[in-house]
Amino acid sequence: MQHTSEYLTCAGREIHYTEWGHQHSATVIAWHGLARTGRDMDELAAHLSDRYRVICPDTIGRGLSQWSPDPKGEYQLAFYARIAADLFEQLHIDKAHWVGTSMGGAIGTVCASGLFEPAMKGRIRSLVLNDTAPQIADPAVERIKSYAGNPPAFDTMLALEAFFRQVYKPYGWLSDVQWRSMTETSARRLPDGRLTPHYDPAMVQQFTHHPGDYLIWEHYDALEIPVLCLRGAESDLVLRDTTTEMLMRGPGAAGLTQVVEIEGCGHAPALNVPDQLERVAAFIEAASRTRIATE
């Protein structure tokens, strides 16, 4: 299934996204992680595009989206939710399922709660949290900050690929073709010709200017939709104590939250192999049937 590359101005900033399965009305939003791009969702989008319209945005400051002129004010979940709300309006999305890796899952959580953007309440039909939770482990955040805030530069694409293979080893198994695609879709050249990951290093200021941004239990507790948490079995970001708590409060207390551990992965499963793809697709299909039956 082919995709198209599109641009919109959302919350005053140019946002890039890819669109798959445009002929379908039922929609899935697939949102990437902190230092990544929407192209990480290619495998998932291709898998779902025979049934769903799939929108894969680049967050502001990542990939082909505009970098923020106000890093302190805009690199935070509240502004990302504002962008998402504008994206829904401009793409005429009434309701959608949401799949989010790491930061993308946090954005989906705060959008679904409606606490930042009241207009988003009721517009997210189900939520997949790919190795993220309403509370994340501080040591893992420090690890991410250590490489994300000061991205290295390399003379060659193969050297950048070797860096990605090392840093993203916790993603689990990727084919050589997938590693190459990840590298080529998330690289940019510096003025001196060297290659570096395709994001604004200032985006890491989210953790300094908004240190509690990812402590979002209030948002999680407000959810009334099915939630699937995919936890990398070796994840240092999402602790088992946290997923246990998720099952006891908010949508978990209502029996709406599932937690599944993905063996062979840390932070975060790449959503690129049949078992992961089919698990996400089955969850979305089940959520669709439940909602239709109750509407």
What are the domain boundaries of the chain? 3-137+214-294
Reported confidence tier of residue 291, pLDDT bands at 50, 70, 90? low
Reported confidence tier of residue 149, pLDDT bands at 50, 70, 90? confident
Answer yes or no: pTM beyond 0.75: yes
Per-residue pLDDT for 293 more than 80?
no
Residue 294 is predicted with a pLDDT of: 46
Residue 132 is predicted with a pLDDT of: 98
Which alpha helices (H) appear in the chain, and where do they start and end? 42-48, 71-74, 77-90, 103-113, 138-148, 157-167, 176-184, 206-209, 217-221, 240-246, 274-294
Reported confidence tier of residue 1, pLDDT bands at 50, 70, 90? low
Which residue has better confidence, 290 or 96?
96
Average pLDDT of the chain is 96
Which residue has better confidence, 168 or 290?
168
Distance CA 77, CA 8 (A): 19
For residues 84-110, average pLDDT:
98
DSSP letter string, 145-209:
HHHHSS---BSSHHHHHHHHHHHTGGG----HHHHHHHHHTTEEE-TTS-EEESB-GGGGGHHHH
CATH class of 3-137+214-294: alpha beta
Residue 69 neighbours by CB under 8 Å, 6+ apart: none
For tokens 């923020």, name the residue: 68
For tokens 């499963």, name the residue: 269
Residue 48 neighbours by CB under 8 Å, 6+ apart: 20, 21, 28, 54, 280, 281, 284
CA dihedral defined by 122, 88, 178, 47, rounded to 10 degrees?
60
